[in-house]
Structure 1
């Protein structure tokens, strides 16, 4: 694992070096304008964005407590530390640390890791569904006089179709999850046995997570929390853009127009590499702001950097404090969660 990780790092550095060498004479970037944008950014808007993001971590803890409530009554405040530590691990070590949260929660509330991985799986699906619903609702009703109106409407329609597909898939999995998992494994096995087994395992985990919601009331509570959380995340994007008061293209950005930026940012973080992924995410969001809104590349890059801090890096101080108070090593717990998940997969 460490050898593969080292090879990956070397490969990334080589690729970045080649890109810099090839395009160094073609990229015109005014560093003075970039720093000026950062200096004049509104601190109040940035703080408001960070406050919204921290509120979503509290909502995540509340939602997780609802997920486990049929099995064990757990106060949301006891799950806040694992949320902080888990997302800090992802910010520092990349997506390989995604299972840190279910691992820490399982250890905290003395439930099997498999049950919390199932919760994690269903949590991801609710996130995807809530985000898609907000995207589609906001984008579908953008004013016709806005630039790139057809792009926004098309994205809204696609997002709405995705939301409906997720709802249908969830209903089918809830009723016949085992059959769906077996069908997926048989269908995909000729292409790749490991991929087929992995997808079947995820479908089973999704079914187990759905089964954890024992009543319609719990489902509606989780759905409402998910929608509120993603509404806050979208508002944090708006606050961050509005912080750049000297750039009208960003300072006047509406919630609906922010949706494409939010989608680009989420896409840029899907395969997050440790540290290096920060810069790729800045590049993705800056390119989106420059292309969709016509913002100058320097302002777009400055906004992308602050956006990374607001939505991703700001959790690190709280996570480090919680890890210190709970005597948790980020590196060790990340390795332990990977090993535990691997052992669980082998056992299955």
Structure 2
């Protein structure tokens, strides 16, 4: 018992109010801080203590399975390639254009950091430097560990910016993902309307345009659905919770997680009601993806391909489909196979397509890995604390137990209006 009391101290909110002013209005709450500063009360702190073996075993099993999947895809991708020809293609690539592509991707990471700051603005202020550190470290983690590294970015920022609450960090990442999905689909779909296949095949062209129109319809329906969800989220979530609770085959933890995510999403979508803030975040999103597209164009030109922006966006769409596979190494294998498939459709030889996919993958993720490594070496990121905060229990507590209340948004909007006046 003594050890358990030492492990977890409980403070009433008034005692914390001097340190965490935003908790002052919730004086009736009791916040528990066990081993992690982002863990709060709905789940008992003993979850991470009494059953760590099961959680760790599942985590390592999933990571091993994804590694095996990546190896299988890479084997399938390279089994019939002439690797001497692939090496020759890489050796003949223009190093100056590749260097410029790396620089452009680095600038795109700055754009990402600036957009994240704009999304966070109604909730908390964060410096561009700390946003950039969290962004590059996060994408570096995704490259090394696959989707298991997704939680690193929203955890690193509160480590460096005490004003940013973990829940705010997580839900703004959710909104960022929505932005990216919409931007990529619109970019790819609109591009397909002007895209011309290398072979003059009327049937292929018609199918391509049908796909483009279908994607646009999906985007419009998605935006409409999000708008409706934001307006009617309270009733929708209130109805969904008892519906799931009545289903015996749905675990209580799943119900709680689904309801919590929907509540957080509904709150986070309110960040977008301001027309000025919406225009700023949309502008940054356009800068991000135009920067990525331009960098990929430079990679294609470095290999001597006379492609323009239309072909580049077409290949980018294939690359992003491959990146959805959550294998370690930044969707290793799947990214390469999908990118090469898009290039083969454009008439590129399979060895050149393989060489381009390998180099493009390194260009897209390399800067984040390098910057992240530099920040770790300099001591800007505490590795032991990062491991603690990215554990499954810590992340679960951060997302589910720390609500972003209407009062926070109201106060933030009031402060913004006061500043403008």
Q: Which residue of 2 aligns with 1:29?
A: 81
How far residue 332 of structure 1 moved from its aligned partner, in angstroms, is 5.5
Q: Which residue of 1 aligns with 2:212?
A: 156
How far residue 195 of structure 1 moved from its aligned partner, in angstroms, is 5.3
Q: Which residue of 2 aligns with 1:84?
A: 136
The CA distance in 2 between the partners of 1:134 and 1:253, in whole Å, is 17
* Post-superposition CA distance 1:197-231 (Å, at most 9, x none): 54443332222222234521001110111122112
The 1:230–1:12 alpha-carbon spacing in structure 2 relative to 1, beyond 3 Å, is closer
Task: Find the structure with the greater CA-based Rg.
Answer: 2
How far residue 270 of structure 1 moved from its aligned partner, in angstroms, is 2.0
> Of residues 226, 236, 241 in structure 2, which corresponds to 1:180?
236
How far residue 58 of structure 1 moved from its aligned partner, in angstroms, is 0.7
How far residue 93 of structure 1 moved from its aligned partner, in angstroms, is 1.4
Kindly indicate whether residue 322 of structure 2 is the aligned counterpart of residue 268 of structure 1: yes
Single out whichever of 127-136 and 272-281 deviates more from structure 2: 272-281
> Of residues 337, 340, 344 in structure 2, which corresponds to 1:283?
337
The CA distance in 2 between the partners of 1:72 and 1:346, in whole Å, is 19
Kindly indicate whether residue 307 of structure 2 is the aligned counterpart of residue 253 of structure 1: yes
The 1:166–1:321 alpha-carbon spacing in structure 2 relative to 1, beyond 3 Å, is same
> Of residues 148, 152, 157 in structure 2, which corresponds to 1:96?
148
Q: Tell me the secondary structure at the aligned position of residue 111 of structure 2.
A: helix
Kindly indicate whether residue 188 of structure 2 is the aligned counterpart of residue 135 of structure 1: yes
The CA distance in 2 between the partners of 1:60 and 1:240, in whole Å, is 21
The CA distance in 2 between the partners of 1:87 and 1:230, in whole Å, is 16
Kindly indicate whether residue 297 of structure 2 is the aligned counterpart of residue 241 of structure 1: no
Kindly indicate whether residue 106 of structure 2 is the aligned counterpart of residue 54 of structure 1: yes
- What is the TM-score of this pair, normalised by structure 1? 0.85
Q: Is the 8 A contact 2:244 2:250 kept in 1?
A: yes
How far residue 16 of structure 1 moved from its aligned partner, in angstroms, is 7.5
Kindly indicate whether residue 164 of structure 2 is the aligned counterpart of residue 108 of structure 1: no
- What is the TM-score of this pair, normalised by structure 2? 0.71
Single out whichever of 228-237 and 336-345 deviates more from structure 2: 336-345
How far residue 268 of structure 1 moved from its aligned partner, in angstroms, is 1.8
The 1:254–1:346 alpha-carbon spacing in structure 2 relative to 1, beyond 3 Å, is same
> Of residues 269, 274, 281 in structure 2, which corresponds to 1:222?
281
The CA distance in 2 between the partners of 1:325 and 1:230, in whole Å, is 30
The 1:208–1:337 alpha-carbon spacing in structure 2 relative to 1, beyond 3 Å, is farther
Unaligned runs of 5+ in 1: 246-250
The CA distance in 2 between the partners of 1:267 and 1:187, in whole Å, is 34
The CA distance in 2 between the partners of 1:184 and 1:254, in whole Å, is 48
The CA distance in 2 between the partners of 1:288 and 1:184, in whole Å, is 41
The CA distance in 2 between the partners of 1:72 and 1:19, in whole Å, is 42
The 1:85–1:172 alpha-carbon spacing in structure 2 relative to 1, beyond 3 Å, is same
Unaligned runs of 5+ in 2: 1-54, 403-421
Single out whichever of 2-11 and 38-47 deviates more from structure 2: 2-11
> Of residues 250, 262, 268 in structure 2, which corresponds to 1:209?
268
Q: Is the 8 A contact 1:85 1:330 kept in 2?
A: no
Q: Which residue of 2 aligns with 1:122?
A: 175
Q: Is the 8 A contact 2:67 2:327 kept in 1?
A: no
How far residue 44 of structure 1 moved from its aligned partner, in angstroms, is 2.4
The CA distance in 1 between the partners of 2:291 and 2:71, in whole Å, is 38
How far residue 269 of structure 1 moved from its aligned partner, in angstroms, is 1.9
Q: Is the 8 A contact 1:131 1:227 kept in 2?
A: no
Q: Is the 8 A contact 1:136 1:155 kept in 2?
A: yes
The 1:140–1:179 alpha-carbon spacing in structure 2 relative to 1, beyond 3 Å, is farther
The 1:160–1:18 alpha-carbon spacing in structure 2 relative to 1, beyond 3 Å, is closer
Q: Tell me the secondary structure at the aligned position of residue 319 of structure 1.
A: helix
Aligned residues: 340
Single out whichever of 97-106 and 279-288 deviates more from structure 2: 279-288
The 1:11–1:72 alpha-carbon spacing in structure 2 relative to 1, beyond 3 Å, is closer
The 1:253–1:19 alpha-carbon spacing in structure 2 relative to 1, beyond 3 Å, is closer
